Amino acid sequence: MGRKVAQIDQQKCNGCGSCVLACRKKALAFAGIKAKLEHPDLCDGGGDCLPVCLTGAITLVEAEG
């Protein structure tokens, strides 16, 4: 089993920014009006972003590579 990283469903993301603020590794950022995993190498898969996402747009997935 490999390393997990956050994946954000752009269709579900409402751009509230809660996940960006909750990410203690600063791996998430805004891309326009939506959040995205800007720095996958920094994401530790800890999931601090999961409980603050009210739309359920974030899941943890196996990191590529």
pLDDT tens for the 65 residues of the chain, in order: 689 999 999 999 999 999 999 999 999 999 889 999 999 999 999 999 999 999 999 999 999 86
Residue appearing with tokens 């997990």: 4
pLDDT of residue 1: 65
Return contacts of 21-30, CB within 8 angstroms, 24+ apart.
21/52, 22/48, 22/49, 22/51, 22/52, 23/48, 23/49, 24/48
Catalogue all structural domains in the chain, each as residue range(s) with its CATH number.
Answer: 4-62 (3.30.70.20)
Element (H, E) at 19: helix 18-22
